[in-house]
Amino acid sequence: MKKLLILALLSTSIFAGKTLDAIKKRGSLKCGVSTGLPGFSYPDSKGNWVGIDVDFCKALSIAIFGNGSRVKYVSLNAQQRFTALQSGEIDVLSRNTTNTLSRDTSTGLNFTTPLYYDGQAFMVRKKSGITSAKQLNGASVCTQQGTTTELNMSDYFRANRMKLRPVVFESNDEVVQSFVKGRCDAFTTDASGLAAERSKFKKPEDFVILPEIISKEPLAPAVRQGDDEWFDIVKWTMFALIQAEELGLNSKNVDTFKKSKDPRIKRFLGRTPGVGKSINLDEKWAYNVVKKLGNYGEIYEANIGMNSPLKLKRGLNSLWTNGGLMYSPPFR
Amino acid sequence: MTELISKKPFFERFAIWLKKNLFNTPTNSVISIFLLAFIWKGIEGLFTWIFIKGVWSGGASVCREAGGFCFPFLFEKTRFIIFGFYPDGQLWRPTCAMLILIGTLFYSKEPNRWNKKLAYLWSISTFFIFWLMGGGLGLTEVTNDKWGGLPLTLLLATIGIVCSYPLGIVLALMRRSKLKVLKSISVVYIEIIRGVPLISVLFMSSVMFPLFLPEGVNFDKLLRAQIAIILFVSAYMAEVIRGGLSSIPKGQYEAAHTLGLSYFDTMRSIIIPQAIRIVIPPTVNTAIGMFKDTSLVLIIALFDLLNTTKTSLRDPEWLGFSLEAYVFVGLIYFVFCFSMSKYSQRLEREFGMKER
C-alpha cells in the first residue's frame, strides 16, 4: 500500500501544468461530487446535479470555458474520493471533504480554500427560549454513539464548566426520533446535518439551531498535488465568488458596474487587464462567473441558505466584514 | 366427505374449515384469536397508512402534516428512481431497451425454443439494447456513467448471469479434469472467490485496480464492476454445474467412449446437455441471488435501482420519505424475483415429469 502511494505521488509530477491543458483539450471538466448530500450535491428529480458543491464545479467551468454546462460529474463515495483524484479520474474534488493535516500532507492532494465552514452545533426547541449554547447547563443532549460528535460535545461542556446529561443512541434515526419525542432538550451533530434533519420535521419553524459552532470542519475543494497552475485556478475561482459579494456584485447587477470608476471593480471585471493573464484564463473570467452563476452569497442562499429548505444561517460563512470567515485576498 | 362439503355454500364451508384448522382445541383457539388480532392490527395499520392518511396531491409539507403514504413523492421521484441520470428527453430509449430485454427473456423461457435461432435472437437483441442505451448510428451518444436505475440493474444481472454460465461450465470441467494443473487452478479460483464477499471483489475492482494502472489511463467503471460480477458469479455457477456433472451416471461416459467419441464431443453432446437440465432449478436460484446482489454496486457509486432510490431521498425538498421509496423499490424487486422463482418451479415440474 505504501509503495503504491509513493508511486502515485511520484507520477503526479507528470501532471505539472497539464491539468488545464487536458481540460481544454477534452472540452469538459471532470468534477468529483458526493453520492447525494442535501444542499451540497444531489440530483434533482430530472437527474441534474445541483447543490453548492455542484455550483462550484459550474463556476470553474465558467472560468475556463465561459459556460457552466461543460462539467462531467463523477459521483464518489467517501472511500473512492481520494483514489479518484490521484488516478486522474477527476480534475477537482468538490465533495464536502474536511481539510485536515493528515489528508493534506499524506494523500497526494492539496486542499484549496474552504467553500463552506461546517462544524458541530446544537438544535433546540424554540419554545425552550434558549438562544445560546452557553445556556445548555444541565441539559440532556441526544447524540450518536461512538462518533467524534460525542467527544466534541463533552469537551465543550467541560471547557465551559457546564453539566452535561448525554443521551446516546446507536443510529442517527434513533437520535432524531428521541429528540422529536422530547427525550432530550438538545440534539447535536454538524450544522448542515442538523438543518437537513430539521427540514424533515412537521413544523421545522419550531426548532432553532444555536449559533455556536464547537468543532472545525472546513469543507474545501481539493486538487492533485504537483500542478500549481491548476491549484491557483481552483483557489482563485473560490476567491472570485467571495470578492464579488464583497464588492456588491451579483448576477443581476453586474452589468450596471461596467462603467464603474472603482479601480478594484475595474480590475476584478477584467477592464483593467491582469486577472486573466496571471492565471492563464480569459480576462473576463471573473465577470463571467458572477454574471452566469452569481456571487458566494447568492449560491449559498439558493442551495443551503434562506431560499432553500435547509434554511442555514450564514454564521461562519458570512463575509469577514460581517464577522464571518469568508475573506478574499485582493485581486490585483 | 369432501364432496358433501363442496356442495355447501361458501360461508358454511369456510366455517367448517375454520373449525377444523384454527379452532379445533381450546389452546389452538386462543392462539388463533391472538394471531388473528395481531394480523388484523398490522393490516389495519397498513390500510390507514396507505389509504386513510395517504396523500395523493400537494407538496412535501402536506405529506409531513398528514403522516400517511406520500404519493406525490413517488410521482416526483419515480423518473429518477427508474432511469437515474439518463438525459431527460431520451427516456424512451432505456424504456425500449428494457422492453426488448424483458421480451427476449420472456421468449426464451420455453425450453423447446432453446436452439440456434435463440442465440441469433439474443445477439440481435443485445445489439439493439446497447445501441438504444449508448447511442451512435443516428442516436445521440449517452455515456454509460449516465446509465442508471432499473435498466442498469437488469443489464448488470442479465449480462452477469449469461456470461458467467459458459465460464462456469469451463471451471466445472476443469475441476473434474484428470490433469492436476487444470484442476488446481480451478479449485484455487473457485475457493478464493467463494471465500470473499462480493463487496470486496467490487471494491478491489473500483478502488485498488485504478492504482495499478498508469495515471490518466481509465478503465471504464461500469465494465470493471460487470467483470467483477461475472468473475464472482462464475465461481458459484461452476459449483452448481459440477453438481450436475457428478450426477450423470458413469455409464454415459463409458458408452460415449465405446462409441469412439472424443472428450470434447462427449461433453458437448452427451454430458453437458443432461447436466444443465438437471441443474436448472439451482441455476435460477443463483440467478435470483445474483439479481439482488447487483444492488451492492452502490458501494462503488454506480447508480443501480437501489442507489437511485437512496439518492432520490437526498433532495432537500423531499427529505424523509424513505418508507415510501423503499416500499416502492421493494415491490419492483419482488416482481422480478417472484417471477423468476415461479419460472424455476415450473421448469422443475416439467423436467421432473419427463425424467420420472
Domain coordinates in residue numbering, chain B: 2-52, 78-86+142-355
Q: Give the residue-averaged pLDDT of A295-309.
A: 94
Using the beta-carbon criterion (under 8 Å), do A77 and B300 form an inter-chain contact? Answer: yes
At residue A95, the 3 state secondary structure works out as coil
Does B186 contact chain A (CB < 8 Å)?
Answer: no
In chain B, pLDDT over 90 holds for what percent of residues? 46
Using the beta-carbon criterion (under 8 Å), do A74 and B317 form an inter-chain contact? Answer: no
Residue B215, CA atoms < 13 Å, CB-side half-sphere:
24
Quote the cell numbers at residue B208.
485498488
Task: Say if residue B327 is exposed, middle or buried (CB neighbours under 10 Å; 0-12, 13-18, 19+).
Answer: middle
> What are A278-296's pLDDT values in tens digits?
889 999 999 999 999 999 9
Mean pLDDT of chain B: 88
Q: Does domain A2-117+218-322 have CATH number 3.40.190.10?
A: yes
Give the integer Cα–Cα distance in Å for B278 and A31: 51
Same topology between domain A2-117+218-322 and domain A120-215: yes
Domain edges within chain A: 2-117+218-322, 120-215
Q: Closest Cα of chain B to A17: distance in Å?
A: 14
Quote the cell numbers at residue A303.
442551495
Using the beta-carbon criterion (under 8 Å), do B88 and A88 form an inter-chain contact? Answer: no
CA end-to-end distance (rounded Å), chain B: 32
Identify whether the C-beta of residue A68 lies closer than 8 Å to the C-beta of residue B345.
no
Q: Look at residue B5 in the predicted model and tell me its pLDDT.
A: 53
Cβ contacts of A74 on chain B, cutoff 8 Å = 145
Does B299 contact chain A (CB < 8 Å)?
Answer: yes
Q: Look at residue B356 in the predicted model and tell me its pLDDT.
A: 46
> What are B143-192's pLDDT values in tens digits?
888 899 999 999 999 999 989 999 999 999 999 988 999 999 999 999 99
The CATH number given to B78-86+142-355 is: 1.10.3720.10
Quote the cell numbers at residue B261.
467419441
Cβ contacts of A202 on chain B, cutoff 8 Å = 64-65, 67
Does B319 contact chain A (CB < 8 Å)?
Answer: yes
Identify whether the C-beta of residue A165 lies closer than 8 Å to the C-beta of residue A141.
yes
The DSSP call for residue A134 is: G
Task: Report the residue from A7, A43, A309 with minimal CB separation from B317.
Answer: A309
Task: Report the residue from A43, A88, A308 with minimal CB separation from B215.
Answer: A88
Using the beta-carbon criterion (under 8 Å), do B317 and A80 form an inter-chain contact? Answer: no
Using the beta-carbon criterion (under 8 Å), do A75 and B203 form an inter-chain contact? Answer: no
CA end-to-end distance (rounded Å), chain A: 44
Quote the cell numbers at residue A320.
469577514
Q: Look at residue A17 in the predicted model and tell me its pLDDT.
A: 64
Single-letter amino acid, residue A121: A
Q: Look at residue A3 in the predicted model and tell me its pLDDT.
A: 44
Query: pTM for the complete prediction?
Result: 0.84
Listing DSSP states for B69-132 in one string gives -BHHHHHHHHHHHHHTTS-GGGTHHHHHHHHHHHHHHHHTTSGGG-SHHHHHHHHHHHHHHHHH
Give the integer Cα–Cα distance in Å for A166 and A143: 7
Residue A136, CA atoms < 13 Å, CB-side half-sphere:
31
Q: Give the residue-averaged pLDDT of B14-32.
A: 87
In chain A, pLDDT over 90 holds for what percent of residues? 66
Residue B171, CA atoms < 13 Å, CB-side half-sphere:
27
Chain A interface mutation, best of B217, B304, B319, highest count of A Cβ atoms under 10 Å? B319
Identify whether the C-beta of residue A211 lies closer than 8 Å to the C-beta of residue A132.
yes
Identify whether the C-beta of residue B118 lies closer than 8 Å to the C-beta of residue B162.
no
Single-letter amino acid, residue A287: Y
Q: Would you say residue A9 has pLDDT above 70? A: no
Can you list the pairs that A163-171 forms with residues at least 24 positions away whose Cβ atoms lie under 8 Å? A163/A137, A163/A138, A164/A139, A165/A138, A165/A139, A165/A140, A165/A141, A166/A140, A166/A141, A167/A140, A167/A141, A167/A142, A167/A143, A168/A142, A168/A143, A168/A144, A169/A142, A169/A143, A169/A144, A169/A145, A170/A144, A170/A145, A171/A144
Give the integer Cα–Cα distance in Å for A45 and A41: 13
Mean pLDDT of chain A: 89
Categorize the per-residue pLDDT at A151 as very low, low, confident or very high, splitting at 50, 70 and 90. confident
Q: Closest Cα of chain A to B17: distance in Å?
A: 45
Write the CB contacts of A202 (distance below 8 Å, at least 6 apart in sequence). B64, B65, B67
| Partners of A33 in beta bridges | A75
Report the candidate in B252, B249, B242 with the shortest Cα–Cα distance to residue B282. Answer: B242
Q: Give the residue-averaged pLDDT of B335-354.
A: 83
Q: Give the residue-averaged pLDDT of A229-249.
A: 95
Categorize the per-residue pLDDT at B58 as very low, low, confident or very high, splitting at 50, 70 and 90. confident
Using the beta-carbon criterion (under 8 Å), do B316 and A309 form an inter-chain contact? Answer: yes
Cβ contacts of B210 on chain A, cutoff 8 Å = 83-84, 87, 89
Using the beta-carbon criterion (under 8 Å), do A44 and B300 form an inter-chain contact? Answer: no
Give the integer Cα–Cα distance in Å for A295 and A240: 8
Using the beta-carbon criterion (under 8 Å), do B316 and A79 form an inter-chain contact? Answer: no
Cβ contacts of B298 on chain A, cutoff 8 Å = 35
Distances (CA, A) of B271 to B110, B237, B263: 22, 17, 10
Categorize the per-residue pLDDT at B76 as very low, low, confident or very high, splitting at 50, 70 and 90. very high
Report the candidate in B193, B214, B188 with the shortest Cα–Cα distance to residue B204. Answer: B193
Using the beta-carbon criterion (under 8 Å), do B207 and A83 form an inter-chain contact? Answer: yes
Using the beta-carbon criterion (under 8 Å), do A74 and B145 form an inter-chain contact? Answer: yes
Using the beta-carbon criterion (under 8 Å), do B211 and A83 form an inter-chain contact? Answer: yes
Using the beta-carbon criterion (under 8 Å), do B319 and A200 form an inter-chain contact? Answer: yes
Question: Residue A44's closest chain B neighbor by CA?
Answer: B315
Q: Would you say residue B335 has pLDDT above 90? A: yes
Cβ contacts of B146 on chain A, cutoff 8 Å = 47
Q: What is the dihedral of CA A34, A35, A40, A45, to 10 degrees?
A: 140
Cβ contacts of B317 on chain A, cutoff 8 Å = 309
Q: Residue count of chain A, please give it.
A: 332
Highest mean pLDDT, choosing among A289-303, B21-35, B60-74: A289-303
The DSSP call for residue A206 is: G
Q: Give the residue-averaged pLDDT of B111-133.
A: 89
Categorize the per-residue pLDDT at A114 as very low, low, confident or very high, splitting at 50, 70 and 90. very high
Task: Say if residue B235 is exposed, middle or buried (CB neighbours under 10 Å; 0-12, 13-18, 19+).
Answer: buried
Listing DSSP states for B168-217 in one string gives HHHHHHHHT-S-HHHHHHHHHHHHHHHHS-HHHHHHIIIIIHHHHSPTT-
Using the beta-carbon criterion (under 8 Å), do A35 and B301 form an inter-chain contact? Answer: yes
Using the beta-carbon criterion (under 8 Å), do B80 and A14 form an inter-chain contact? Answer: no
Task: Report the residue from A8, A45, A79 with minimal CB separation from B211.
Answer: A8
> What are A54-67's pLDDT values in tens digits?
999 999 999 999 99
Cβ contacts of A200 on chain B, cutoff 8 Å = 64, 319-320
Q: Give the residue-averaged pLDDT of A290-314.
A: 94
Categorize the per-residue pLDDT at B4 as very low, low, confident or very high, splitting at 50, 70 and 90. low
Write the CB contacts of A59 (distance below 8 Å, at least 6 apart in sequence). A68, A237, A238, A240, A241, A289, A293
Give the integer Cα–Cα distance in Å for B77 and A164: 42
Q: Look at residue A180 in the predicted model and tell me its pLDDT.
A: 87
> What are B180-239's pLDDT values in tens digits?
999 999 999 999 999 999 989 988 887 777 777 776 566 788 888 999 999 999 999 999
Q: Look at residue B354 in the predicted model and tell me its pLDDT.
A: 58
Identify whether the C-beta of residue A118 lies closer than 8 Å to the C-beta of residue A216.
no
Identify whether the C-beta of residue A28 lies closer than 8 Å to the C-beta of residue A72.
yes
The superfamily (CATH) of domain A120-215 is Periplasmic binding protein-like II (3.40.190.10)
Question: Residue B218's closest chain A neighbor by CA?
Answer: A89
Q: Which positions in chain A have a beta carbon within 8 angstroms of at least one beta carbon in chain B?
A: 4, 7-8, 11-12, 14-15, 35-39, 42-47, 72, 74-77, 79-80, 83-84, 86-89, 196, 199-202, 308-310
Bridge-based pairing state of the strands A207-209 and A49-50 = unpaired
Using the beta-carbon criterion (under 8 Å), do B76 and A45 form an inter-chain contact? Answer: yes
Q: Look at residue B67 in the predicted model and tell me its pLDDT.
A: 83
Quote the cell numbers at residue B308.
437511485
Identify whether the C-beta of residue A286 lies closer than 8 Å to the C-beta of residue A269.
yes
Q: Closest Cα of chain B to A219: distance in Å?
A: 19
Report the candidate in B129, B116, B168 with the shortest Cα–Cα distance to residue B286. Answer: B168
> What are A213-237's pLDDT values in tens digits?
999 999 999 999 989 999 999 999 9
Distances (CA, A) of A174 to A122, A141, A192: 17, 13, 18
Report the candidate in B46, B349, B202, B214 with the shortest Cα–Cα distance to residue A89. Answer: B214
